[in-house]
Amino acid sequence: MALCILHSRARVGISAPSVAVEVQLAPGLPALSMVGLPEMAVRESKDRVRGALLSGRFSFPDGRLTINLAPADLPKDGGRFDLPIALGILGASGQLGAQGLDDYEFLGELALSGHLRPVDGVLPAALAARDAGRALVLPRENLAEAALVSGLRLHGAEHLMEVCAHLDGSRLLSPWCGEEQTAHEPRYPDLADVRGQGQAKRALEVAAAGAHSLLFVGPPGTGKSMLANRLPGLLPPMTESEALESAAVRSVSGRAALDPGQWRARPFRAPHHTASGVALVGGGSNPRPGEVSLAHHGVLFLDELPEFDRKVLEVLREPLESGHIEIARAARHERFPARFQLVAAMNPCPCGYLGDPSGRCHCSARQVANYRGRLSGPLLDRIDMHVEVPRLEVSELTMPARGEEEDSRSVRARVTAARERQQARCGCPNSALGPREIERHCALDSAGQRLMEQALTRLALSARAYHRILKVARTIADLAGEERIATAHLGEAIGYRRLDRGSGGEASPRQAMQSRQP
């Protein structure tokens, strides 16, 4: 009886728990059994491994093979365990020396020819292998992604025979020391491309400085989407830990390619309004991250917000508050990070031209109310800023560019300085302040108190909206380099609650919801 043990990694959310691949060869009739909660793709590995061993001119051992993937209560999926299973069979049958295997972790799917195919979720496994002090052996196609982790000993291979030759010392794989990949400066669209819209640009700067959520309201073609696309370029550069977290989500998603040269770029996700709730927040029988997690430490842009299914939009309420999403299934419970910055855009009415000087809008008040009523009050309460984006004047649109528009680099410098003030004061952006921190850092003077009381009374604001106004005002003060919130800062923050008031024949969200009641 012979036993060979190797180390590998499973994929659970964005973590990579350790898995011991134990292969035992015992006397008896030829048989192979696999235990340890293997799913279908893992159970099928016995056929892939057999074909790969025979293609490599190894003999498949006669006797009773038992493969245990420990711990037994952790579900295992995918083809990532093919390589350690094959090496375990060779080690248990005496065709490969078992010395030194404890210093390595193995990942890789095997083709019948013995070639190694790439697997997903490599980045979390690389981080865990580095923390465990082991070298990582994996398919060469996964090498660039794993090399983002500094301080990790890496070995990439294209064929099972290369791994065997490395382990027996006949031909060593070229080591990759895990030095940090050379990351190019992220490429973002420039804010200078947007003509006019000074108020909307100012709101975008405030949102970037405090990590606030933002809703643009305006007719078609006024630049709402252009403005949203330029928000990532206004945000401070990602730290290494933030970039690795964001890249780890993309690594385990299986559907968002990770460019090692742009791994420090803040993600920008813009799902179509026909997206389902599962596509937005994640899920499935084998839970995968959704758009809110793929936008982690970046921007989630929802264009044509009222066109999204209302039930789909309601699932955003939890991650907007908590910064993560819980996916619960009968046999699985996983948690994905979702600390994103929400930017949304909508038309003021079904046709999109309410209030336009041309008078082309013929929507009735009830149609406008029903259109606005597609957005629930609780969701709008969780959006910090509501900003109008009006149609440009003809002169602004047709006048040749004179280079007077401020570029993203200049705005980003002010945003970064404001973020540094927030980090030094409370260790987080203003949008993440809790009730106690709001009382401590967002105190108002007597004039500000009177103005806030008037706003609360006239706009019928909720307690949540009150707190969000204070946090936006704190950000405006930070941009101005002020220690305390002045009345002007508070007034500007109140002005960003566009949908909390109805004017010019337009219906506020509360009026819209009331008109739909029988």
CA atoms within 13 A on the CB side of 344: 23
Cβ contacts of 433 within 8 Å, gap of 6 or more: 426, 441, 442, 471, 474
What dihedral angle (degrees, nearest 10) is formed by the CA atoms of 350, 355, 356, 360? 60
* C-beta contacts of 289-293 below 8 A and 24+ residues apart: 289/14, 289/249, 289/252, 289/253, 289/336, 290/325, 290/336, 292/316, 292/319, 292/325, 292/338, 292/340, 293/249, 293/253, 293/325, 293/336, 293/337, 293/338
CA 37 to chain centre: 29
**CA-to-CA distance for 67 and 50, rounded, in angstroms?**
14
Coil, strand or helix at 465 = helix
pLDDT, residue 182, reads 52
Cβ contacts of 390 within 8 Å, gap of 6 or more: 218, 219, 222
CA atoms within 13 A on the CB side of 495: 13
CB of 407 within 8 A of CB of 236?
Answer: no
pLDDT, residue 403, reads 62
**CA-to-CA distance for 171 and 199, rounded, in angstroms?**
65
Tokens at residue 16, please?
């990579």
**CA-to-CA distance for 479 and 411, rounded, in angstroms?**
10
Sheet holding 64-70, edge to edge: 2-9, 18-26, 64-70, 31-35
User: Strands 282-283 and 268-269: what pairing?
Assistant: unpaired
pLDDT, residue 503, reads 37
**CA-to-CA distance for 100 and 223, rounded, in angstroms?**
61
Question: How far is it between the farthest Cα atoms of the chain?
Answer: 89
Q: Which residues in the chain show pLDDT less than 70?
A: 177-184, 255-258, 330-331, 395-398, 400-404, 501-518
Query: What number of other Cβ atoms are within 10 A of residue 151's Cβ?
Result: 10
pLDDT, residue 1, reads 74
Tokens at residue 349, please?
């009415």
**CA-to-CA distance for 303 and 80, rounded, in angstroms?**
38
CB of 300 within 8 A of CB of 269?
Answer: yes
Which residue, 222, 230, 229, is CA-closest to 197?
222
Which residue, 265, 238, 349, 256, is CA-closest to 304?
349
Tokens at residue 324, please?
């993560």
- Domains annotated on the chain, with CATH: 2-176 (3.30.230.10), 191-427 (3.40.50.300)
Query: Strand (E) positions, 147-277?
Result: 154-157, 175-176, 214-217, 268-269
- In what helix (H) or strand (E) does residue 333 lie, and over which residues does it extend? strand 333-337
